[in-house]
Amino acid sequence: MDDEPLARDRMRQLLEAEPDVEIVGECASGREAVEVIEKAGPDLVFLDVQMPGMDGFSVLDRVSPGRLPSVVFVTAHDEHALKAFGVHALDYLLKPFDGERLRESLQRVRVELRSEAPRAFQRRLLSLLADVKPRARRGDRVVIRSGGRLSFLKADEVDWIEAEGNYLRIHAGQKSHLVRDTMSEIEARLDPSRFVRIHKSTIVNTERIREIQPLFNGAHSVLLHDGTRLTWSRGYREQLRALTGEDT
């Protein structure tokens, strides 16, 4: 994921020569990168640190924690970032790099993916983000824009949130509000100790959960206190483990 077309072409050529690598996406901007990571769920991302509008750290800060892939950072001259990568034992490619250096990096990733390291990698990655780019302050209010007016909804009034195309529907008691936002962006603004992503299209206030029942293929049924039933996708099992403290 790089904003420079020539750099992406070079990376693609090198990766296509690797028999166990399948390229599932190529992005020229941070926003595209967030969308591809959320939808495709790649095992590995080569991520440029310096991109206009949204840098590589901002990209990862907007990806759901349970969707964070292994990452090899690509950078040209960010000395602070290089020091941070070394402290947190994360790999990086310093531009310009050759095929041999890329293959060395891929081998490190292969070893990591064959072990139980992905969870440890996610912890290192989150620690890196905390050091390099302070997280946005978690809000206790949700902004509702309607008809040119702004209104504010207390976060603890929100029951759950679902995606509707390019919009989100925020359910709060007997009312619902349609806002133009993305799941990743609103998730980054909500308190993670209270709100949890249970599906690519669903965020729920954990205080509204009455019970959770297993279904099949690793999915779970979630019953809220108001009788609403939601599905906890198997792709978000890490969040379920974090909430219950149990393997599911």
**Cα gap 5→43, rounded to integer Å:** 23
Give the tokens for residue 146.
């309607």
User: Which pLDDT value is given to residue 135?
Assistant: 45
**pLDDT band, residue 55 (cuts 50/70/90):** confident
Q: Taking the alpha carbons of 24, 30, 31, 35 in that order, is the dihedral positive or negative?
A: positive
Q: What is the mean pLDDT of residues 31-36?
A: 86
What amino acid occupies position 38? Answer: E
User: Over pLDDT 90: what percentage of the chain?
Assistant: 21
**Cα gap 248→94, rounded to integer Å:** 40
pLDDT above 80: residue 53 = no
- Give the chain's mean pLDDT: 81
Rg (CA), the chain: 20
Give the tokens for residue 226.
């108001």
**Residues 108-165: tens digit of each pLDDT:** 888 877 775 556 666 777 777 766 654 444 557 787 776 667 778 888 899 999 999 8
Domains defined along the chain, listed by start: 5-132 (3.40.50.2300), 141-244 (2.40.50.1020)
Q: Would you say 32 and 26 are in contact if contact means Cβ atoms under 8 Å apart?
A: no
**Residues 136-150: tens digit of each pLDDT:** 445 577 877 766 677
Give the tokens for residue 17.
């020569």
* Cis preceding linkage at 42, omega within 30: no
